[in-house]
Amino acid sequence: MRRIVPFILLLFLAILQATLLNRLSILGIKPDLLLILVIFIGLYKGPISGAWCGFLAGILLDLFSPVSLGTNAFSKTVLGFLAGVVAPLLYFKAPLTQGLLLFIGMFLEGMILFILLSSFYLTPPFRHCFLYIILPASLYTSLLTPLLFYVFKRITPIRNTSNETKVW
């Protein structure tokens, strides 16, 4: 039963991201709750679970978004995998490390998305995207990370931090 918790959590967070989260936006900037979950799964469950979680989270976001299906799926798959790869090299139980990891994750995702979106859509110049989207969203998301990591740890089936305990 607890194995389906991450799936339910993914769906719940995707709906939250597209509906009520707008009320939490500061100057029009929203945190990326799904990326926090993707990095969390990547860190605690390894690269394969991280990549799968990233792929599913991305597809869900793409369904709510006007972008082509696969845009967020691509960026989040890469980040989920990377989180799993770097996990053995880091002590990620400290809130500061968690926040820092999410800041880097959001930053990298912002870069990937900018390249993808500017190839297919009309986007503002890089400087504008960097200063008004990527940087503030990275900061906002990283600030929420320790709290959400704590919540995720309480409700997802994580018993040890060794690599590749299958959840999917």
Partner 1 sequence: MKKKVFVLVLLILIALFFLLSKKRGTKLEEGLTTIIYLPVKVLARAPSGPKEVPVQGKERFLLEVEEENKRLRRLLDLKEHSIYEGLVSSVIAREPSNWFHALLLDRGEKWGVEKNSVVITPKGLAGRVIKANKNSSQVLLITDPGSEIGALVQRSRIQGVIQGKGKYLILKYLPLGADVREGDLVITSGLEGGLFPKGLAIGRVKKIEPPHPQDLFLKIVVIPEVNLSSLEEVLVLKTQ
- Binding residues for partner 1 (CB under 8 A): 11, 14-15, 17-19, 21-22, 28-30, 32, 46-48, 51-52, 54-55, 58-74, 77-78, 81, 84, 113, 116-117, 120-124, 132-133, 137
Residue given tokens 């993707």 in the structure block: 38
Shortest CB 31 distance to partner 1, Å: 9
Nearer to partner 1, 19 or 94 (CB): 19
Smallest gap from Cβ 79 to partner 1, in A, equals 11
* Beta carbon of residue 94, minimum distance to partner 1 (angstroms, whole number): 26
121 exposure class (CB count in 10 Å sphere: 0-12, 13-18, 19+): exposed
Question: How many whole angstroms separate alpha carbon 51 and alpha carbon 39?
Answer: 9
CA distances from 140 to 36, 160, 168 (A): 11, 29, 29
* Cβ pair 84, 91 in contact under 8 A: no
- Distance of closest approach, residue 39 Cβ to partner 1, in angstroms: 16
> How many Å separate Cα 122 from the centre of its chain?
24
**Which one, 95 or 120, has the nearer CB to partner 1?**
120
Cβ proximity of 151 and 42 under 8 Å: no
Q: Of the two residues 51 and 158, which places its CB atom closer to partner 1 in the complex?
A: 51
